[in-house]
Structure 1
């Protein structure tokens, strides 16, 4: 009797999930993968789907997102006029998706690797007079975390408000002892979707991958670098972590602060108010070239960052250079990259030779043959682990941020990038890219297709599993 009841309940649940996948599945490949998992793995397939497979665009976490965005400043006439320029379509796309217009009057500084990045960050934090907003996907115990704790204590003693968001899974190793100290000194701290049974159990697969620091609403940082000592001391088996970060002073920093405040509302249900920039920051050297903040996540109606990358690739005329450790693109980006290369655009990919996740590395390599055959140049960076997320094109436009070229960044993670319509920055990133290529190993199509069958088999496994990443 009990067996019949169990089977009946199981069939009802399975059929309801199958119906949900057919009605609201995000992509055919993922839908098919989940259908196969449910039928091939009784009970286990259903559990995995409930844990990892729900379409977050259908079931939004931020129920009042439109109300939050309605509070953003509207673009003025001058800002709207720039939408008609060379990259007007991309600006319009990004504005409609993320609600941030491109702004001028920003001072930008490229920060490469951990040492220079954290030196600049601590310098800015020490100058805070009103508030510090900080959020990271990975926030780990160590020398950096201890130094931040001591600085927070000093600033709070002088009346500075410190707010911290850390991702519940990315920062899973962060000790309770450290969190207790943060609370004791007065830091307002929240975990983003912590792993627990209850409301957020079904959201385990949706992570906040953003890295943002904003000081007094006027100086901001974003990019690929997390709070981890491996950026200073390296990691056993991988060596030194190489990454790129960006410092922004001006209106773009205010936009990044708004991204933080939106996430703060999600974790705390508290609405924060923007603050006016201190007059001292207005004296900083600024540029009339434009910066646009693009934030995306599973609450958005469209895959914001995927559309941004797709547009940048399609708009390239001379070259498009991409640095990213996780290039696991969908069909749209594959076609865009192949089409660009076959039409004469110089398309180059710079990928880390070493990997922090072997299965993901197999998946990345599984696309190389398709790329090489189309004339795309691929370079493997051998010195440590290359974690940067950079795209630069035509000495005119570039992107630095947190988003990888994979479905996780496009569909499941909260991400943020800075799009810079800025000639000087583009040339600087291009030069850095070409210098890294000089010390990297370029793949040749004729040699690559002769790789052992065992590697091809691993790549096949990686590609099959990639829709579930």
Structure 2
């Protein structure tokens, strides 16, 4: 008696999901794949769809963000960055999709690796007079966390307001003992989509991958570096972690702060008034940049659109540093088309990643790259975690977003797109120096002769690429 009822309930749920897919599906191939999974994998197909398949842009699951966003109704800044015509449209695309205009009064410092980055961060935190906002995907116990705790205690004694937002999955190992210490000294904390059974299906697959620090709305930091001692001590299996971070002083810091405050409300339900925050404008430098936030509840695939537009705009060169390049069809075709059109396209990746399945999936695309003439460099002196894109000495992208489905469609990310020839040329020199120390793959025929077992594993991993 119970079995027929269970089967009937399952069929009813499956039919409801089918209707949802037909109404809210985006790509026919993806919709068809989920339909097959629902009807060919008993129970598991439904669970997989609930975890990974729902279209957040249609359903607006995270409606809190839409009700209190601090990025609405911002006028387009009057300045024009020094870009060629085919790249100026990118700035308009960003403003149209996420309401973040070009900011022109900025001073930037490029920070490489953990030691230099954290020295700069600590100096900025020590100078705080009004507030410190921190937002991290990974915040782990250790020497860095204890150093921050010590700084927080001193600054709170000076009446500085400190807010810390951490991701519920990325910072899952952060101890209750440490959190109690933060609370005891007066640090306000919030957890983004905590790992709880009741919210398991709605929260697990959608993470806040941003790394943001804002001090007094004058100094801001963003990039790939998390709060983890592996940036100082290295990793037992991968060696030293290499990463790129950006220190920003000036107008653009206000937009990092707006992103933080919006996410803070989404996580805590507490509204922070933007009015008291002053916008600082340095006079020593005038670098143009745009801050680009993206997330699963945006109206458009913002990060994918911007990356695709930059790739499509490349005329001379396109250099990418990223450990997780698992391109969707549009990004892959863009990269291959650029290379076949005569653009110097180079991808710099780690020889191995921190997740073996991801490593195989990344490798599954090498053959396509080489066939199109894209040069692939494998960096073996530690783990390269930077998320950088350089194009034609005009655009430098530095931030948190990888070139995979998770970053482009599922995670909350933050990326700085800098329009400055001097910075681009400096980063290009560093890129080429790293390439010189890496293994070059450019022989398509030789690579295509790799063992069939490798191809089989890569093919299996590639099937899971939409989930990685």
- Scaled by the length of structure 2, the TM-score of the pair is 0.95
Q: Confirm or deny: 8 A CA contact 1:211 1:402 kept in the other structure.
A: yes
- Kept after mapping to 2: 8 A contact 1:137/1:170: yes
- What SS does the corresponding residue of 2:323 show, helix, strand or coil? coil
CA distance in 2, matches of 1:415, 1:320: 22
Q: Which residue of 2 aligns with 1:411?
A: 409
Q: Are the equivalent residues in 1 in contact too, given 2:350–2:384 (CA < 8 A)?
A: yes
1:285 equivalent in alignment to 2:304: no
Q: Contact 1:33–1:467 (CA<8 Å) still a contact in 2?
A: no
Aligned-residue RMSD, C-alpha: 2.0
- TM (normalized to structure 1)? 0.95
Tell me by how many angstroms 1:167 deviates.
0.4
- Structure 1 CA distance for aligned equivalents of residues 407 and 114 of structure 2: 23
1:267 aligns with 2:259: no
Stretch deviating more after TM superposition (28-37 or 427-436): 28-37
* Equivalent residue number for residue 189 of structure 1: 189
Deviation at 1:83, TM superposition (A): 9.3
Could you tell me how far 1:259 is from its partner in structure 2? 0.7
Q: Go from structure 1 to structure 2 and tell me whether the alpha carbon gap of 1:67 and 1:203 turns closer, same or farther (over 3 Å shift).
A: closer
Q: Is the 8 A contact 2:77 2:103 kept in 1?
A: no
For the pair 1:371 / 2:373, whether they are aligned, the reply is no
* Alignment correspondent of 1:50: 50
Contact 1:379–1:442, Cα closer than 8 Å, also in 2: yes
Q: Is the 8 A contact 1:399 1:417 kept in 2?
A: yes
> Structure 2 matches for 1:336-415, cutoff 5 A?
336-415=334-413
Which ranges in structure 1 are unaligned for 5 or more consecutive residues?
A: none
Q: Structure 1 60/27 Cα, relative in aligned 2: closer, same or farther at 3 Å?
A: same
Change (3 A) 1:72 1:170: same
1:148 alignment counterpart: 148
Where in structure 2 are there 5+ consecutive unaligned residues? none
Cα distance, 1:35 vs structure 2: 2.8
SS of alignment partner, residue 235 of structure 1: coil
The alpha-carbon distance between structure 1 residues 436 and 333, as it changes in their structure 2 partners (threshold 3 A), is same
Distance 1:61 1:275 in 2: 28
1:102 aligns with 102
CA displacement at 1:164 relative to structure 2: 0.6
Judging changes above 3 Å, is the alpha-carbon distance between structure 1 residues 402 and 29 closer, same or farther for their aligned structure 2 residues?
farther
Change (3 A) 1:101 1:278: closer
Distance (whole Å) between structure 2 residues aligned to residue 182 and residue 102 of structure 1:
36
Q: Who is 1:234 aligned against? A: 234
What CA deviation, in whole Å up to 9, does each residue of 1:78-128 have, x standing for no partner?
A: 247989955321001000111110111100010001110001000100000
Q: Please say if residues 83 and 92 of structure 1, whose CA atoms lie closer than 8 Å, have aligned partners that are also in contact.
A: no
Cα distance between partner residues in 2 of 1:392 and 1:146: 36
User: What does residue 225 of structure 2 align with?
Assistant: 225
Q: What per-residue deviation string (whole Å, max 9, x for no partner) do you get for residues 185-215 of structure 1?
A: 1111011001113356422100000000000
SS of residue matched to 1:198: helix
